[in-house]
Amino acid sequence: MIIQELRKLIESGEKIDVEFKRSRSDITKDVYDTVCSFNNRNGGHIFLGVKDDREILGVEPEAIDKILRDFTTAINNANKIYPPLYLTPEVYEIEPEIKIIYIRVPEGGQVRRHNGIIWDRTYEGDIDITRNEELVYKMYARKQGSYYVNKVFPGLGMEFLNSDLIKRARKMATGRVDNHPWAIMNEEEILRSSGLILTDMETYKEGITLAAILLFGKDSSIMSVMPQYKTDAIYRVENVDRYDDRDVIITNLISSYDRLMEFGKKHLNDVFVLEGIQSVSARDRILREVISNILAHRDFSSGFPAKFIIEKDKIYTENSNLAHGIGELRLDRFEPFPKNPPISKVFREIGLADELGSGMRNTNKYTKLYSGGIPSFDEGDIFKITIPLKNIATAKVGPEKESVGQSVGQDVGQGVGQEEAVLQELILKLINKNNRVTKKQIAKEASVSEKTVERQMKKMTNVKYVGRGYSGHWEIRD
């Protein structure tokens, strides 16, 4: 690493993958805590001879050899760091006659402990998670690539599943693909082919998996094995302190998908958009991607309920996650990682999802068409998706409680399509808010062209422009 890169790291300050330690004359115990936390998480950079406020103190020249020797000995000592690590600290003269020690810690393939303690890394620093069973499980799952949904229940048979739901899944799969292999399989064979019946390696008994119960289980079966399971759908536009509508969903994943889609369609207008020369429902495409994500890719070992929330200016989702990185994901360097392969496989077979990694690209594409915005994807122990919206997406058609009055109910929504009614409703709202609003401003707010606004306003017999030019204003007639 060159001096300029080191300086840039120091100038950026401490964060989840950068840590400063004074350690001028001796190496302190907490350096090894940070080595373990970085190795257990995503790797990082440790600087010895730098204060927390980025001031470069340097390491005392006569102490450098001892610090290097002590550090190398400690990380190779299984009684101190377990399993042992092999790192090479480097000495750099960062400023004239001021030397620091730089330690690059990679992400490890095993869970490491310092003096028997498991350390993890967050934005706040190093945290001891040894006694937190949930966090320890998540760490081992990240390292071992194991999947919680493959947990086998040898005592549960096919009677704990909804037979009609499996038949529906077969119909959905065969309706999409000619000669689909499920067409000639019975229900048990479908489960086996999807990896939903496995052998418990502890008891060597066969049984249905947690994934099978989540996908096809009866509600009582799901609650018996996972009482914390829940998906919360919230619509919050008028009553921002609580909610305007809510659906608490505690059922199988396939039915949950249907209910979340219905909830989204109920509260989001299907704004007309073109993909090339073809009309598409960008709203439905966005809903499909974000809903399949919170259902198929969540960490089911966590008690954190998945959330699907619609607000005036955005949709956002939250679900527990086995993170393989921290921070915002970028489309140009995103590397997808399978979270629950057996659930994802069934979702792909029945058409509720596409290949791994396509969801982020599709969401980005259709959000631009729907609202002109760019979605964000934040990776962490809680995975978050945010979809920006324009007012036209959540504008209601029909009478308003406020000053729009009866004119909306009389002139909007009668004799026009839903899209036109929604746009006319929004125009009336914007005029009530500012009677000097321009057509250009309305077009920008509605995410449509200025010509579309002009065309709709000509149809609105209850709206008239009084005066001339910039000195005039809009009036709404009763």
Read off the pLDDT of residues 360-386 as tens digits, 9 standing for 90 and up.
999 999 999 898 899 999 988 899 999
C-alpha distances in angstroms, 426 versus 220, 314, 411, 420, 470?
45, 17, 13, 10, 21
CATH architecture classification, 231-393 = 2-Layer Sandwich (3.30)
The structure's pTM equals 0.64
Whether 325 has a pLDDT exceeding 70, the answer reads no
Specify the higher pLDDT residue, 46 or 123. Answer: 46
262: left (phi over 0), alpha (psi -120 to 50) or beta: alpha
Burial class (CB in 10 A: 0-12, 13-18, 19+), 87: middle
Sequence-separated (6 or more) residues with CB below 8 Å from residue 133: none
Nearest alpha-carbon partner for 245 in 260, 237, 235, 231 = 235
Superfamily of domain 3-141: Schlafen, AAA domain (3.30.950.30)
List the domain boundaries for the chain.
3-141, 148-225, 231-393, 403-476
Q: How far is CA 8 from CA 14, 54, 77, 96, 433, in A?
A: 12, 11, 33, 17, 48
pLDDT in tens, 326-350: 778 887 767 677 788 899 999 999 9
Tens of pLDDT, residues 87-130: 889 999 988 889 999 999 988 878 899 999 999 998 878 999 99
- Of 159 and 427, the structure prediction assigns the larger pLDDT to 159
Q: What CATH architecture applies to the domain 403-476?
A: Orthogonal Bundle (1.10)
